[in-house]
Structure 1
């Protein structure tokens, strides 16, 4: 499952990068000890405007983890859409990190035999899925819809001209999928119920944030690398 756990997986090199990037911005001296031991300090520093600039520089893309890279950039574009929740930023960053692997994009869970390439295949699979499997598939549907409509909206629009689903289809699938899973007991066990609720209510804002991010780090006019 995609979990809101990017911040928990930062590496020593990530913290060193943060400390060095901020030391050149006239901020107070930040020690690695503070970043490692004080979550509030860490989150405050991760919101500094110098970090996305540093990460998007040629030097910043060397030696940092995907978790740090995606978290900082996702957090930045979400805040521009008025979305301040850090757990939601962490979740969407983890989504981009995991879906950068084609295998993970097509496989909802490592213990399920299903491999999907289209949302319609996921909808069909729900008819024979157990309750737990249906939860996993619906979460994957929401994630898949957000990833495609957020990072490859131009591609979706072009395919629409040939009879493929339009962007509103992806938004409806995403909203309804997250709304359904938000009240499932497994969502509470995974501590993701609130994240799913936010994605159900604010799917469009999250999608718009990813549209902006795609313009920066992707080539959104191109087809996804997995089709």
Structure 2
């Protein structure tokens, strides 16, 4: 199960990286390292602009964990899009880390071996699911939709434009929003302290999706050719859609 726990999984290498980034001398580095053990101080430290800048510019990033990498980037872009909740950033960082594992995106949890390639297959299994399975499926519909539309927007755009009956962004936004909101109302969401996070993701799905698009476009450089015509047209289409939304 994906939880909002990326900040609790920082490694010794992560803490050393934070200390070397923010501490100007050995004593300062030791002080920063000690402060990371306090959740409140840790959160302030992880918001430091110097940390974000170094993650963007340091070529040797392989020694830090994906939990630190994704949390700092996601926290930054969510703030740019007026989403201040650290728990949401934490959840998304955990999701991206988890989905970076082979085939994990196609399974509703690491303990379920059945793989799903399409959202409709998840919905079919939802019909006969017990309450626990319902939660896993509903939250996975949200996570799957957010991951694809948020991290691989040009893939969605290309398939919708050139494919045969391939779904566009509105499909993933509707499915993902509904999945998160349904999961938020499941009693297991309260038990695992996820109800509020899932509700925010459900009600602000498009806003979060666009924030992740911004992260990919400007900070992660996942596209081999970020200036490609498809990438440009996808951004133009997003602008047009937003104009329609605001002008009615």
* TM surpasses 0.5: yes
The equivalent residue for 1:51 is 51
After superposing on structure 2, the runs of 4+ consecutive aligned residues of structure 1 that deviate more than 4 Å are none
Within 5 Å, which residues of 2 pair with 1:1-227? 1-24=1-24, 30-36=31-37, 38-161=38-161, 162=163, 163-215=165-217, 216-220=219-223
Structure 2 CA distance for partners of 1:63 and 1:113, relative to 1, 3 Å: closer
Q: Return 5+ residue gaps in structure 1 as ranges.
A: 223-227
- Aligned equivalents of 1:110 and 1:213: distance in 2? 26
- 1:39-76 deviations in Å (ceiling 9; x for gaps): 11111111011111111223451311111011001101
Higher RCO (C-alpha 8 Å, min separation 6): 1
Give the secondary structure class of the aligned counterpart of 1:219.
coil
- Deviation, structure 1 residue 3: 0.5
Greater Cα offset, 145-154 or 113-122? 113-122
Contact residue 35 and residue 42 of structure 2 kept, 8 A = yes
Q: Distance in 2 between matches of 1:155 and 1:59?
A: 26
CA distance in 2, matches of 1:202, 1:71: 19
Structure 2 distance, partners of 1:220, 1:78, is 21
Instruction: Give the Cα–Cα distance (whole angstroms) in 1 for the partners of residues 58 and 48 of structure 2.
Output: 19
Moved more, 12-21 or 82-91: 12-21
Q: What TM-score comes out, normalization by structure 1 length?
A: 0.91
Give a deviation string over 1:146-202, Cα, whole Å, max 9, x none.
000101111111111222001000000011011111111100011000001101111
Conserved in 2, the CA contact under 8 Å of 1:175 and 1:203? Answer: yes
Tell me the matched-pair count: 219
Three-state SS of the structure 1 residue aligned to 2:127 is helix
TM-score normalized by the length of structure 2: 0.83
Unaligned 5+ runs, structure 2:
226-248
Task: Give the direction of change, closer, same or farther, for the CA distance of 1:221–1:188 in structure 2 (3 Å limit).
Answer: farther
Higher Rg of the two aligned structures:
2
Quote the Cα distance in structure 2 between the aligned partners of 1:185 and 1:125: 19
The whole-number CA distance in structure 2 between the counterparts of 1:156 and 1:31 is 42
